Copies of this chain bind each other. A is one copy, B any other.
Amino acid sequence: MIQPSTLPGMMELLPEDQMVFDTIKRRIEDVFIKNAFFSIDTPAIEKLDVLLSKGGGETSKQVYRIDSSKKNQGLRFDLTVPLAKYVSMYMQDLAFPFRRYQIAKVYRGERNQKGRYKEFYQCDIDIIGNEKLSLYNDAEIVKCMYEALKSIDVPDFEFQFNNRKILNGYFSYLGIEDFESCLRIIDKLDKIGIDNVKEELSKLNLDDEKIDSILNFLKIDGTNLEIIEKLESLNIDNELFVCGLEELKFVYDDILSLGVSPDNIKINLSITRGLDYYTGSVFETFFKEYREIGSICSGGRYDSLANNFTKSKLPGVGMSIGLTRLFYQLQELNLVKGQQTNFDCIIIPMKGYEKNAVKLMNDLRSSSVRCMSYLEDDKLKKKFNYADKLSVKYVIIIGQDEIEQNKFTLRNMENGNQELLELNQIIEKLK
């Protein structure tokens, strides 16, 4: 006898929670489809050299490698590397801009930690251009994620966004060369606070004046329009900065004209997305009242999706929801609600009336009522316990009385009310 158990760090839900999870996942997918993104379904196992094409780093240590004779294989740790592979491989067959979504599990052998998962769903959308890609796409991505988050009924949220060219242009204007280290430090502002950012910046051998300039720059705040005005009034004479500011304004305007409420979008100059991947727009998304749980949907613009795989320049923009972690957090905050779609009723026959229950089940199902019959040879009490355990709202009872009158007893399990009804009345009520 073997002790049945699931590996730590894997989310495995009971059916009622799974139903909610599935509903959320499907609503997100429906929004992606409605917004004219195409699905791809790459394998979970890839060649290691493909997976690690961007070189080492933290992630490579977390890759699940396949054993023995399949040494050169591993499990994907994100959906971006497989996308880069896919686009490079099938470039001739794809129409650009290529709009793809993928909702799938990825694998990271992180150490065990509450709320961190080794297997988790990512919901990715990206638009990839061949050689060039208009800025309209940056706004499209945000609009699509806006609809996706609205569709799953989460707490009020805010896209915070920025443009890396603004920061890099400003660094360049200040005469700072090591953009990346600066970005990485600023990215931690939320976690470590302004004093620690100051201290870390000083370790980069920046003089106090420059550090103060950076900190003052990061403090620029107000409404979105005020921030834009303040940035303009700085009159920074740097091409990259000016370009970044133009892009920021264009994308912001376009996001609004796509119908995203101004309440849900906020320019934040300290958003950098630590990784060196992004080159223009950068986005993070926070619940307004639960900022401490971190970004629930992030992404941005990159100049080149796949320069490890192809010489073609493939600029793109994308965002991703970490669905497993999001679901965990919603559960922790007791914010999972309403998204459930249980089935409509259970038919309970008295002993000897099983075949009548089967017939009724057929009739109800062909009228699109989602139902089942309890056909085990059990006591009535046990049958009702089953309906209770599944939290079904209605039970239909069939016995001699019902058959004689060609009616059925419909019992509302929430308040115990019973009615004797004809088939079409029941269908009416359950639909």
Contacts and interface: CB of A to CB of B under 8 A. Distances in A.
A96 to B, nearest CB: 8
A416 interface: no
A301 to B, nearest CB: 15
19 contacts: A1-B311, A2-B50, A4-B50, A4-B309, A6-B85, A7-B45, A12-B41, A12-B86, A13-B40, A34-B365, A44-B44, A45-B118, A95-B389, A95-B390, A97-B376, A99-B372, A132-B376, A257-B362, A259-B362
A12 B39 CA distance: 11
B1 A308 contact: yes
A136 B40 CA distance: 39
Contacts of A134: 354, 375-377
A85 B65 CA distance: 24
Nearest to A309: B4
A403 B178 CA distance: 49
Contacts of A133: 376
Contacts of A75: 45
B65 A64 contact: no
A89 B259 contact: no
A304 interface: no
A47 interface: yes
Interface stretch (A17-25, A210-218, A239-247, A393-401): A17-25
B89 A6 contact: yes
A317 interface: no
Given A36-B370, A370-B33, A389-B95, A45 B136 contact: no
A409 to B, nearest CB: 20
Interface in A306-342: 306, 308-311
A134 B389 CA distance: 20
A207 B211 CA distance: 96
A4 B109 contact: no
Contacts of A13: 40-41
A376 B66 contact: no
Given A134-B376, A257-B359, 8 more contacts: A1-B310, A4-B84, A4-B85, A5-B50, A6-B46, A36-B370, A134-B354, A137-B375
A90 B12 CA distance: 11
Contacts of A21: 41
A354 B65 CA distance: 47
Contact of A49 (B2, B14, B258): B2
Nearest to A86: B12
B6 A309 contact: no
B68 A66 contact: no
Interface in A259-290: 259
Contacts of A95: 386, 389-390
A7 B45 CA distance: 8
A71 interface: yes
